[in-house]
Amino acid sequence: MKKKLAAMILTLALAAGVMAPVPAYADGITVEETSMDTATEKAFDTDYTVKWDADKVYWNKVTLDQQGILRIHLNEEDPKSLENYDVAVYTAKGEKIWKIMMNCAGVAEDNYVGLAKGTYYVSLQSHYQFQPSTTYRFSFEKNNTCEIEPNEKKNDAVDMKVNIMYTGFMENTYAGEKDNDDFYAITLKKGQSYKFICDADSHKGKTTIVKLLGKTTKTDFFWPSVGAEDFCVSSGDVFIAPYTGTYYAYVNNYYGKQYKYEIGVKKINLKAPTVSVSAGKSSAKVSWSKVNNYRYEVQYATNSKFQGAKKVSVHDQKTSVTIKYLTSKKKYYVRVRSCAKTENDNNKKAYSAWSKVKTVTVK
Protein backbone atom coordinates (compact mmCIF):
# COMPACT_ATOMS: atom_id res chain seq x y z
CA MET A 1 0.00 0.00 0.00
CA LYS A 2 2.83 2.40 0.91
CA LYS A 3 4.63 1.70 -2.39
CA LYS A 4 1.43 2.35 -4.39
CA LEU A 5 0.85 5.62 -2.48
CA ALA A 6 4.44 6.77 -3.08
CA ALA A 7 4.12 5.97 -6.77
CA MET A 8 0.87 7.96 -7.02
CA ILE A 9 2.44 10.98 -5.28
CA LEU A 10 5.48 10.85 -7.61
CA THR A 11 3.26 10.62 -10.70
CA LEU A 12 1.14 13.59 -9.58
CA ALA A 13 4.26 15.64 -8.81
CA LEU A 14 5.72 15.00 -12.25
CA ALA A 15 2.42 15.85 -13.96
CA ALA A 16 2.14 19.10 -12.02
CA GLY A 17 5.69 20.11 -12.87
CA VAL A 18 6.78 20.13 -9.22
CA MET A 19 9.49 17.59 -9.96
CA ALA A 20 11.32 17.17 -13.25
CA PRO A 21 12.51 13.79 -14.48
CA VAL A 22 16.27 13.35 -14.27
CA PRO A 23 17.65 13.05 -17.82
CA ALA A 24 19.79 10.11 -18.82
CA TYR A 25 23.43 10.82 -19.60
CA ALA A 26 26.14 8.81 -21.26
CA ASP A 27 28.37 6.97 -18.88
CA GLY A 28 31.46 9.03 -18.14
CA ILE A 29 34.09 9.76 -15.55
CA THR A 30 32.80 12.10 -12.86
CA VAL A 31 34.84 15.29 -12.51
CA GLU A 32 35.12 16.70 -9.01
CA GLU A 33 38.19 18.98 -9.21
CA THR A 34 37.14 22.47 -8.06
CA SER A 35 40.55 24.16 -8.21
CA MET A 36 43.25 24.45 -10.82
CA ASP A 37 45.78 22.90 -8.45
CA THR A 38 43.78 19.68 -8.16
CA ALA A 39 42.84 19.37 -11.84
CA THR A 40 43.82 16.05 -13.37
CA GLU A 41 44.82 15.30 -16.95
CA LYS A 42 41.88 14.61 -19.27
CA ALA A 43 42.15 12.24 -22.21
CA PHE A 44 40.89 13.22 -25.66
CA ASP A 45 37.72 11.68 -27.08
CA THR A 46 36.61 10.46 -23.64
CA ASP A 47 33.29 11.29 -21.97
CA TYR A 48 33.43 13.07 -18.60
CA THR A 49 30.54 14.02 -16.33
CA VAL A 50 30.33 17.04 -14.07
CA LYS A 51 27.76 17.09 -11.25
CA TRP A 52 26.95 20.72 -10.68
CA ASP A 53 27.18 22.35 -7.27
CA ALA A 54 26.19 25.94 -6.57
CA ASP A 55 28.84 28.54 -7.45
CA LYS A 56 31.54 25.94 -8.02
CA VAL A 57 33.94 25.96 -10.94
CA TYR A 58 35.17 22.60 -12.22
CA TRP A 59 38.65 22.25 -13.68
CA ASN A 60 40.25 20.12 -16.37
CA LYS A 61 43.85 19.78 -17.49
CA VAL A 62 44.77 19.10 -21.12
CA THR A 63 48.20 18.81 -22.73
CA LEU A 64 48.86 19.53 -26.42
CA ASP A 65 52.02 18.09 -27.91
CA GLN A 66 51.80 20.46 -30.89
CA GLN A 67 49.90 23.47 -32.21
CA GLY A 68 46.28 22.85 -33.16
CA ILE A 69 42.60 23.23 -32.40
CA LEU A 70 41.03 22.11 -29.12
CA ARG A 71 37.37 21.12 -29.48
CA ILE A 72 35.15 21.44 -26.39
CA HIS A 73 31.94 19.46 -26.73
CA LEU A 74 29.01 19.64 -24.29
CA ASN A 75 26.24 17.11 -24.74
CA GLU A 76 22.62 17.86 -25.55
CA GLU A 77 20.45 19.03 -22.67
CA ASP A 78 16.71 19.12 -21.98
CA PRO A 79 15.10 21.17 -24.81
CA LYS A 80 12.98 23.02 -22.25
CA SER A 81 15.96 24.20 -20.21
CA LEU A 82 17.91 27.39 -20.66
CA GLU A 83 21.23 25.91 -19.64
CA ASN A 84 24.20 28.23 -20.10
CA TYR A 85 27.80 27.46 -19.27
CA ASP A 86 30.90 29.58 -18.92
CA VAL A 87 33.91 27.84 -20.43
CA ALA A 88 37.39 29.36 -20.06
CA VAL A 89 40.91 28.33 -20.97
CA TYR A 90 43.95 29.19 -18.83
CA THR A 91 47.68 28.80 -19.38
CA ALA A 92 49.81 26.71 -17.05
CA LYS A 93 50.67 29.98 -15.26
CA GLY A 94 47.01 30.68 -14.54
CA GLU A 95 46.47 33.40 -17.18
CA LYS A 96 42.99 33.34 -18.70
CA ILE A 97 43.38 33.49 -22.49
CA TRP A 98 39.92 32.54 -23.77
CA LYS A 99 36.33 32.51 -22.52
CA ILE A 100 32.96 31.80 -24.05
CA MET A 101 29.36 31.28 -22.93
CA MET A 102 27.83 28.09 -24.31
CA ASN A 103 24.08 27.69 -24.64
CA CYS A 104 23.04 24.02 -24.62
CA ALA A 105 19.26 24.45 -24.69
CA GLY A 106 18.18 21.32 -26.51
CA VAL A 107 21.28 20.93 -28.69
CA ALA A 108 24.80 19.67 -28.33
CA GLU A 109 27.32 22.50 -28.38
CA ASP A 110 30.81 22.61 -29.86
CA ASN A 111 33.34 25.37 -29.50
CA TYR A 112 36.90 25.53 -30.77
CA VAL A 113 40.10 27.13 -29.50
CA GLY A 114 43.34 27.52 -31.45
CA LEU A 115 46.27 26.88 -29.10
CA ALA A 116 50.03 26.52 -29.21
CA LYS A 117 51.85 23.48 -27.87
CA GLY A 118 51.64 23.30 -24.07
CA THR A 119 49.56 22.55 -20.98
CA TYR A 120 46.21 24.26 -20.43
CA TYR A 121 43.42 24.29 -17.88
CA VAL A 122 39.76 24.41 -18.90
CA SER A 123 37.17 25.61 -16.38
CA LEU A 124 33.44 24.86 -16.53
CA GLN A 125 30.71 26.68 -14.64
CA SER A 126 26.92 26.40 -14.92
CA HIS A 127 24.86 29.58 -14.74
CA TYR A 128 21.42 28.31 -13.84
CA GLN A 129 21.89 24.64 -12.89
CA PHE A 130 18.58 23.39 -14.24
CA GLN A 131 20.35 20.11 -14.92
CA PRO A 132 22.03 18.09 -12.16
CA SER A 133 24.93 17.07 -14.38
CA THR A 134 26.42 17.44 -17.84
CA THR A 135 28.64 15.21 -19.94
CA TYR A 136 31.39 16.64 -22.10
CA ARG A 137 34.58 15.72 -23.94
CA PHE A 138 37.71 17.21 -25.47
CA SER A 139 39.12 16.51 -28.93
CA PHE A 140 42.23 17.79 -30.66
CA GLU A 141 43.21 18.42 -34.28
CA LYS A 142 46.73 19.28 -35.42
CA ASN A 143 46.85 22.54 -37.37
CA ASN A 144 49.98 24.58 -38.04
CA THR A 145 48.04 27.41 -39.71
CA CYS A 146 45.38 28.19 -37.14
CA GLU A 147 44.96 31.17 -34.86
CA ILE A 148 46.58 30.92 -31.43
CA GLU A 149 44.84 32.35 -28.39
CA PRO A 150 45.16 34.92 -27.01
CA ASN A 151 45.09 37.15 -30.10
CA GLU A 152 42.58 39.87 -29.25
CA LYS A 153 45.23 42.63 -29.22
CA LYS A 154 47.85 43.80 -31.73
CA ASN A 155 50.61 42.83 -29.31
CA ASP A 156 49.29 39.25 -29.31
CA ALA A 157 48.63 39.05 -33.05
CA VAL A 158 49.15 35.68 -34.73
CA ASP A 159 52.00 35.77 -37.26
CA MET A 160 50.86 35.10 -40.82
CA LYS A 161 52.82 34.47 -44.00
CA VAL A 162 51.87 35.63 -47.49
CA ASN A 163 50.01 33.10 -49.70
CA ILE A 164 48.94 30.91 -46.75
CA MET A 165 45.33 30.74 -45.55
CA TYR A 166 44.78 30.52 -41.79
CA THR A 167 41.89 29.05 -39.81
CA GLY A 168 40.27 31.13 -37.09
CA PHE A 169 37.30 30.87 -34.77
CA MET A 170 35.35 33.99 -33.95
CA GLU A 171 34.18 34.10 -30.35
CA ASN A 172 30.69 35.23 -29.36
CA THR A 173 29.75 38.45 -27.56
CA TYR A 174 28.00 36.79 -24.64
CA ALA A 175 31.10 36.04 -22.59
CA GLY A 176 31.07 39.39 -20.80
CA GLU A 177 34.70 40.04 -21.76
CA LYS A 178 36.45 41.36 -24.85
CA ASP A 179 37.10 37.98 -26.46
CA ASN A 180 35.47 38.84 -29.78
CA ASP A 181 38.53 40.37 -31.51
CA ASP A 182 41.12 38.45 -33.53
CA PHE A 183 44.38 40.01 -34.77
CA TYR A 184 46.93 38.65 -37.24
CA ALA A 185 50.25 40.28 -38.17
CA ILE A 186 51.82 40.01 -41.61
CA THR A 187 54.84 41.64 -43.27
CA LEU A 188 54.29 43.10 -46.74
CA LYS A 189 56.63 44.76 -49.23
CA LYS A 190 56.14 48.32 -50.49
CA GLY A 191 54.94 48.53 -54.08
CA GLN A 192 53.86 44.89 -54.28
CA SER A 193 50.26 44.05 -55.14
CA TYR A 194 48.26 41.84 -52.75
CA LYS A 195 44.74 40.62 -52.17
CA PHE A 196 43.21 40.43 -48.68
CA ILE A 197 40.90 37.42 -48.25
CA CYS A 198 38.61 36.56 -45.34
CA ASP A 199 35.20 34.89 -45.36
CA ALA A 200 34.25 35.85 -41.79
CA ASP A 201 31.83 38.54 -42.98
CA SER A 202 29.94 36.07 -45.19
CA HIS A 203 28.42 34.02 -42.35
CA LYS A 204 24.69 34.41 -41.94
CA GLY A 205 23.37 35.57 -38.60
CA LYS A 206 26.69 37.17 -37.70
CA THR A 207 27.66 40.81 -37.51
CA THR A 208 31.34 41.00 -38.31
CA ILE A 209 33.96 43.60 -39.17
CA VAL A 210 36.86 42.39 -41.32
CA LYS A 211 39.73 44.75 -42.23
CA LEU A 212 43.42 44.75 -43.09
CA LEU A 213 44.97 47.67 -41.23
CA GLY A 214 48.19 49.63 -41.37
CA LYS A 215 50.45 49.98 -38.35
CA THR A 216 49.05 53.42 -37.41
CA THR A 217 45.36 52.51 -37.64
CA LYS A 218 43.71 52.52 -34.20
CA THR A 219 41.17 49.99 -32.93
CA ASP A 220 40.21 51.52 -29.59
CA PHE A 221 36.57 50.82 -30.44
CA PHE A 222 35.26 47.83 -32.38
CA TRP A 223 35.27 49.84 -35.63
CA PRO A 224 38.78 50.89 -36.77
CA SER A 225 39.49 54.61 -36.52
CA VAL A 226 40.82 55.41 -39.98
CA GLY A 227 42.39 58.78 -40.66
CA ALA A 228 43.56 60.19 -43.98
CA GLU A 229 47.07 58.87 -43.34
CA ASP A 230 45.95 55.39 -42.24
CA PHE A 231 45.81 52.26 -44.37
CA CYS A 232 42.64 50.15 -44.34
CA VAL A 233 41.16 47.70 -46.87
CA SER A 234 38.29 45.21 -46.77
CA SER A 235 38.09 41.54 -47.58
CA GLY A 236 38.33 40.92 -51.33
CA ASP A 237 40.27 44.12 -52.03
CA VAL A 238 43.39 44.15 -54.19
CA PHE A 239 45.88 46.78 -53.07
CA ILE A 240 49.43 48.01 -53.38
CA ALA A 241 51.32 48.00 -50.08
CA PRO A 242 52.22 51.64 -49.29
CA TYR A 243 55.17 50.71 -47.05
CA THR A 244 57.38 47.76 -46.16
CA GLY A 245 56.55 46.49 -42.71
CA THR A 246 53.80 45.03 -40.53
CA TYR A 247 50.10 45.09 -41.34
CA TYR A 248 47.28 43.74 -39.14
CA ALA A 249 44.34 41.61 -40.22
CA TYR A 250 41.46 42.41 -37.86
CA VAL A 251 38.26 40.40 -37.30
CA ASN A 252 35.55 41.52 -34.87
CA ASN A 253 32.30 39.71 -34.10
CA TYR A 254 30.06 42.12 -32.23
CA TYR A 255 26.96 39.94 -32.49
CA GLY A 256 26.40 36.22 -32.91
CA LYS A 257 27.74 32.84 -31.86
CA GLN A 258 31.15 31.38 -32.58
CA TYR A 259 31.96 30.33 -36.13
CA LYS A 260 34.92 29.21 -38.22
CA TYR A 261 36.56 31.41 -40.86
CA GLU A 262 39.54 31.46 -43.23
CA ILE A 263 41.86 34.44 -43.56
CA GLY A 264 45.01 35.35 -45.49
CA VAL A 265 46.85 37.75 -47.79
CA LYS A 266 47.89 36.58 -51.25
CA LYS A 267 50.52 38.08 -53.51
CA ILE A 268 49.14 39.29 -56.84
CA ASN A 269 51.39 39.19 -59.88
CA LEU A 270 49.53 40.71 -62.79
CA LYS A 271 50.36 39.30 -66.20
CA ALA A 272 50.49 41.21 -69.45
CA PRO A 273 47.85 39.97 -71.90
CA THR A 274 48.54 38.68 -75.40
CA VAL A 275 47.31 41.26 -77.93
CA SER A 276 46.15 41.29 -81.55
CA VAL A 277 45.01 44.27 -83.63
CA SER A 278 42.94 44.46 -86.83
CA ALA A 279 42.33 47.53 -88.98
CA GLY A 280 38.94 48.99 -89.75
CA LYS A 281 37.64 52.07 -91.55
CA SER A 282 39.05 54.95 -89.49
CA SER A 283 39.20 52.49 -86.60
CA ALA A 284 41.13 49.60 -85.07
CA LYS A 285 39.87 46.62 -83.12
CA VAL A 286 42.16 45.59 -80.25
CA SER A 287 41.71 42.11 -78.75
CA TRP A 288 43.59 40.44 -75.88
CA SER A 289 43.69 37.31 -73.76
CA LYS A 290 41.78 37.29 -70.48
CA VAL A 291 43.96 37.73 -67.38
CA ASN A 292 42.48 36.82 -64.00
CA ASN A 293 39.26 38.74 -64.58
CA TYR A 294 40.90 42.14 -64.04
CA ARG A 295 40.33 45.41 -65.84
CA TYR A 296 42.49 46.53 -68.74
CA GLU A 297 44.05 49.69 -70.07
CA VAL A 298 44.62 50.11 -73.81
CA GLN A 299 47.14 52.71 -74.97
CA TYR A 300 47.67 53.86 -78.55
CA ALA A 301 49.84 56.46 -80.28
CA THR A 302 51.31 57.37 -83.67
CA ASN A 303 54.91 56.83 -82.46
CA SER A 304 56.75 53.90 -80.94
CA LYS A 305 57.68 55.85 -77.79
CA PHE A 306 54.00 56.50 -77.09
CA GLN A 307 54.55 60.22 -76.72
CA GLY A 308 51.19 61.97 -76.50
CA ALA A 309 49.48 58.57 -76.25
CA LYS A 310 45.80 58.19 -75.54
CA LYS A 311 44.27 55.46 -73.38
CA VAL A 312 41.04 53.56 -73.06
CA SER A 313 39.94 51.83 -69.82
CA VAL A 314 38.00 48.61 -70.37
CA HIS A 315 35.69 46.74 -67.98
CA ASP A 316 37.04 43.42 -66.72
CA GLN A 317 34.44 41.29 -68.54
CA LYS A 318 35.54 42.50 -71.99
CA THR A 319 38.55 41.30 -73.94
CA SER A 320 38.31 43.64 -76.91
CA VAL A 321 37.60 47.25 -77.77
CA THR A 322 37.20 49.20 -81.02
CA ILE A 323 39.04 52.50 -81.15
CA LYS A 324 37.19 54.92 -83.42
CA TYR A 325 37.86 58.25 -85.11
CA LEU A 326 41.41 57.38 -86.12
CA THR A 327 43.18 58.97 -89.08
CA SER A 328 42.85 56.95 -92.28
CA LYS A 329 46.07 55.51 -93.76
CA LYS A 330 47.89 56.30 -90.50
CA LYS A 331 50.08 53.80 -88.65
CA TYR A 332 49.30 53.31 -84.95
CA TYR A 333 51.18 51.62 -82.13
CA VAL A 334 49.06 49.74 -79.59
CA ARG A 335 49.73 48.03 -76.26
CA VAL A 336 47.60 46.70 -73.39
CA ARG A 337 48.14 46.04 -69.70
CA SER A 338 45.95 44.47 -67.02
CA CYS A 339 44.90 46.54 -64.03
CA ALA A 340 43.90 45.31 -60.57
CA LYS A 341 40.70 46.78 -59.19
CA THR A 342 41.88 48.46 -56.00
CA GLU A 343 39.80 49.82 -53.12
CA ASN A 344 42.33 51.27 -50.70
CA ASP A 345 43.01 54.68 -49.24
CA ASN A 346 46.28 55.28 -51.08
CA ASN A 347 44.19 55.55 -54.27
CA LYS A 348 46.63 53.69 -56.50
CA LYS A 349 46.11 50.98 -59.07
CA ALA A 350 48.08 47.80 -59.56
CA TYR A 351 49.25 47.31 -63.15
CA SER A 352 50.96 44.55 -65.07
CA ALA A 353 53.75 45.24 -67.48
CA TRP A 354 52.70 46.38 -70.95
CA SER A 355 52.06 43.77 -73.60
CA LYS A 356 54.22 43.54 -76.68
CA VAL A 357 53.58 46.51 -78.95
CA LYS A 358 51.40 45.85 -81.98
CA THR A 359 51.11 48.08 -85.04
CA VAL A 360 48.19 48.64 -87.37
CA THR A 361 47.61 50.85 -90.40
CA VAL A 362 44.07 52.17 -90.41
CA LYS A 363 42.00 51.80 -93.59
Sign of CA dihedral 10, 15, 17, 22: positive
So what's the pLDDT on residue 84? 73
Last residue of a domain, one of 218, 239, 268: 268
184 and 240 housed in the same domain: yes
Which residues touch 324 (CB under 8 Å, ≥6 apart)?
282, 283
Pair 167, 145: CB distance under 8 Å: yes
So what's the pLDDT on residue 348? 60
So what's the pLDDT on residue 71? 96
229 and 322 housed in the same domain: no
201 and 165 housed in the same domain: yes
Q: How confident is the model at residue 18 (pLDDT cuts 50, 70, 90)?
A: very low
Q: How confident is the model at residue 331 (pLDDT cuts 50, 70, 90)?
A: very high
290 and 226 housed in the same domain: no
**Between 283 and 252, whose confidence is greater?**
283
**Between 151 and 85, whose confidence is greater?**
151
Pair 51, 133: CB distance under 8 Å: yes
CATH classification of the domain holding 166:
2.60.120.380
So what's the pLDDT on residue 354? 94
Over range 137-162, report the average pLDDT: 95
**Between 84 and 244, whose confidence is greater?**
244
Last residue of a domain, one of 113, 142, 171: 142
CATH classification of the domain holding 299:
2.60.40.10
So what's the pLDDT on residue 148? 96
Residue 321 pLDDT > 70: yes
| 3 found inside a domain | no
Task: Note down the domain range covering 218.
Answer: 154-268
Of the candidate ranges 36-45, 79-88, 304-313, the one whose mean pLDDT is the lowest? 79-88
DSSP reduced 3-state for 5: helix
Pair 123, 138: CB distance under 8 Å: no
Q: How confident is the model at residue 82 (pLDDT cuts 50, 70, 90)?
A: low
Over range 261-265, report the average pLDDT: 95
Question: In a 10 Å sphere around its CB, with 0-12 CB exposed, 13-18 middle and 19+ buried, how is residue 56 labelled?
Answer: middle
Q: How confident is the model at residue 285 (pLDDT cuts 50, 70, 90)?
A: very high
184 and 241 housed in the same domain: yes
| 18 found inside a domain | no
Over range 203-216, report the average pLDDT: 79
Strand 232-234 relative to strand 181-188, pairing: unpaired
170 and 255 housed in the same domain: yes
Q: What's the pTM value of the predicted model, to 2 decimals?
A: 0.75
Tell me the helices (H) and strands (E) count for the chain, helix number first: 1, 26
| 6 found inside a domain | no
Over range 76-93, report the average pLDDT: 74
| 52 found inside a domain | yes
Over range 231-254, report the average pLDDT: 89
Pair 267, 193: CB distance under 8 Å: yes
What DSSP character marks residue 41? B
| Tally of domains in the chain | 3
Of the candidate ranges 73-82, 113-122, 205-214, 340-349, the one whose mean pLDDT is the lowest? 340-349
Residue 194 pLDDT > 50: yes
Rounded distance, CA 311 to CA 317, Å? Answer: 18
Of the candidate ranges 17-21, 43-47, 111-115, 223-227, the one whose mean pLDDT is the lowest? 17-21
Over range 85-108, report the average pLDDT: 81
181 and 244 housed in the same domain: yes
138 and 159 housed in the same domain: no
Last residue of a domain, one of 110, 142, 174: 142
Average pLDDT, the chain: 82
CA–CA distances in Å: residue 251 to residues 96, 129, 302: 20, 33, 51
The DSSP annotation for 36-54 comes to GGG--B--TT--EEEE--T
Cis before 79 (ω within 30): no
| 8 found inside a domain | no
| 207 found inside a domain | yes
Over range 144-162, report the average pLDDT: 95
- Of 176-180, 334-338, 340-344, give the range with the top mean pLDDT: 334-338
| 10 found inside a domain | no
